[in-house]
């Protein structure tokens, strides 16, 4: 996520939004001033999450959301997930 997204509570906001959609994954600041992360969950919940990322918290100014890789899994229960929650990484 690009724009004014550091120092504006973006990671905390992202974590709250992801958890509200029952997503697992993580979010972190990058040295370049962006925010990146990984989100896993149901396809419709991921779609909602992507829309929310374009908005961000009220103080943020999101200029771009780039999706590096998107994969749909037919039977998520068959995957051995390493992530059990959505968290902030440092």
Question: Each residue of 40-67: b (16+ CB within 10 Å) or e?
Answer: bbeeebbebbeebbeebbeebebeebee
Name the catalytic one among 4, 11, 44, 85.
11
| Known active-site residue 11 | yes
| Known active-site residue 28 | no
The number of C-alpha atoms within 13 Å of 69 and in the hemisphere containing its C-beta is: 5
Name the catalytic one among 4, 9, 29, 89.
29
Angle between helical axes of 43-55 and 10-20 (0-180°, round to 10):
150
Catalytic residues: 11, 29
């Amino acid at each position: 996520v690009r724009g004014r997204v550091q120092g504006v509570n973006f990671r905390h906001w992202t974590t709250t939004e992801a958890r509200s959609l029952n997503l697992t994954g993580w979010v972190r600041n990058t040295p370049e001033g962006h925010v990146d992360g990984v989100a896993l969950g149901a396809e419709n919940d991921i779609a909602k999450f992507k829309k929310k990322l374009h908005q961000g918290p009220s103080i943020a100014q999101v200029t771009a959301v780039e999706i590096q890789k998107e994969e749909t899994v037919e039977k998520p229960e068959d995957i051995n997930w390493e992530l059990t929650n959505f968290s902030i990484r440092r």
